Structure 1
Amino acid sequence: MDWSSDEDSIYTMINKPRGIASIVYMTDDDPKYGEKNRQWLKEMWEGLDFQVIEVNNPNKDELTHHLEHWKSEIGRSPSKHDCFSFSFIGHGGIKNGEEYFLLRNQEEYKFIDLYAKFSAPLCPGLAGKPKLFILQACRGAQNGISVELFTSASPSSIATDMSDYFILQPCFIGYKSYFNSQNGQSPFIETVKDVFLGEYRDNDVQTMATNITRKISNNTPLLKDGKSQTTTITTTLRKALYFDGIRGGILPRFKSIHLGASNNVKKSKDNRKTFKDDTTSNKVDTKKVNADEKDFLCKCGLQAKQRLSKQDDENKGRVFYRCSKSKGMQCDFIHWGNKLMCKCSTPALKLVTSKGGNKGRVFFQCSNTHKNCRFFRWEDSILE
């Protein structure tokens, strides 16, 4: 496999923390509209290995100082920051064709001024690196409506001044964004959190954003209230962005070695040492496994997460599927499977690293030598 081409087309995400996640939330009008959504964002960014910095109710000068401070921090040690994210929870609008969000004392802060601060010339520490913006704010005063559908069956190596941006907003330009009037919760923020935390080990940011757009457009509570919302994606990313830190340059440097007894070793076509699987001597029908197990939905309607049991009983090392939400918010869905499957419905290969800071760490990757689907997971990241 030509790993060099992957490194050229995928952002490097190897640092811990990945970078700064700034969360700005406004609670002047009503505290309930910021608190729960702030908690969701904090849980999400921490779960994705970002250093979270929170700012409550800043005015324009305070926000400018905050942004300039972290720009300077990144500039002093750019190699420690793979990414930057900025999240906002509050109100916004559009005036004379320019979008803005509202800070303390109703001060307006233009979106374009925010983006420009992190352009390559003004923030060289982030040049060529992804910059993510999740902005929970109205973009106008128009209400969205829903309709019933009747349907029939060479990435560049040069970073331009405004490249490597990814902006996710809850509504189309000119439209309102909605909160739950009873508890202040944002369906947009909740969906972003659930999808990012539930899918980041398998999907890139663009794929997850598409899934967020679909889920928001099908949001049942909004539709029952006669409302609709169309999440908007604006991107100048030049590469695929994965939060799991695997596809961004770590995997190519691994050398896989055998974990079991010598009489269990066999050679694959690409000369890697692998397990001879003695724990499932009966052949597994991969098509049946894929159909029956791979796409389970939990009771929340989310794709269930694949885990390995580490309990010291007859199920030790066995795959099971459960709700992908964080602890304390999970439903009680659980389903037991047979063995870990990669994206192309092939039993995953179990290997161990032999060099570097992850020496001795066990991982799984795709075993299909003809069509590798890039599946990769650390064993300790999926152990329950």
Structure 2
Amino acid sequence: MTASPQPLWTETATRTYHRPVKTLTIVHVSASLSRIGGGISATVRAIATEQARAGHRVSVAGIVDEHTDSDTAEFADIPLALGRVVGPKALGYSPQLKRHLGSIDGRIDIVHCHGLWMWHNETARWLARRHNAALVISPDGMLEPWALQRSVWKKRLVNVLFQRRALRAAVCLHAAAAKEADNARTWGWTKPITVYPNGVYAHEYDVPPDKEAVAARCPALAGKKLLVFLSRVHPAKGLPTLVRVWADLCQTFADWQLVIAGPDEVDHQAQIEREAKSLGIGQRITFLGPVYGQAKSQLLAASDLFVLPTHSENFGIVVAEALAAGRPVITTTGAPWEGLASHQCGWWIEIGADPLAHALRQAMSLSDDQRSAMGGRGRAWVNEEFAWPAIARQSIQTYLWLAGHAEAPPCVRIE
């Protein structure tokens, strides 16, 4: 699927929306707009949709992959510019995308680039310079210390080729949590940072639990309480620790089954399966593979407890989704979810086997009613603080300031 080289702005794209006093023209640029991009793609889709609903002229640009045709339908009336990759997919070099973006006529106020270490950063930098627009970059966790230690030589090469140039051109960084902003400062970012979270459409996860439907798709889950991990199956997520801890606990909690769902990356699932087999607990873990849309909502609704023993997250959208589904959550200090403790809806633990074992034992020992009460508090918290329309307003306030139409909003850190 490729975008037409015609101008991206059309009256049909904005005619149903209320226009604000100052209408901004915004272009979001991301490596992927499909499920391949995981939480980044979902965030781009949601923030662009809400900004357009607020009356701004918004378009989205990204590269084509095997799921683009089906997944970009969810962008509805948002104009898209899509380009195919030439050369290694990991680099994302797309001259076609640049040509499509070059067809934009008129003013652009904001170019917002999502993610690092791929060629779309250079494309976003070029577009912002071409239109004298403010360039905003969301690192999306890619400046976190743990992430910077991965693929070091690739990052050094990419930095020399184009990433350093793009970061120098950016006038503002977007961080999804205070921790990500602090880490960006430690890394060396000296310009302004706007801090606002990613969000969730809570109503998408407000579905009644249907364990029978889940068991019909996977008979091994019939009659079991479900401890669910739902994220990328990747070394960053702490799955080896989870499996080893589960090996020690699963005999005590014989009516529970560990469910690992999510797309496999760097062949990590095979490693986890081998570990489970060597520990003799292969039958106590169910691997579901990627789960999206309604199946994802149903799995979260049918779960009894959600766990994400991650090493590093800039936000961790799956935590918000699990809370929206009314499920208590266990995650680590590698994710910025300290509110789990203060809102009494989960456990925010140190990274490691002992803290994880303690939290799991405590959570699985609770009654169903106690866990349900915790989940209810989590859902209320998400509805109050992580609704997409309110988050989009913070992004627009930041953009208006960068475009010279307003004072810096409270979410902006100048120093």
Tell me the TM-score normalised to structure 1 length.
0.29
Higher helix fraction: Structure 1 or Structure 2?
2
Q: Which has the larger radius of gyration?
A: 1
Tell me the TM-score normalised to structure 2 length.
0.27
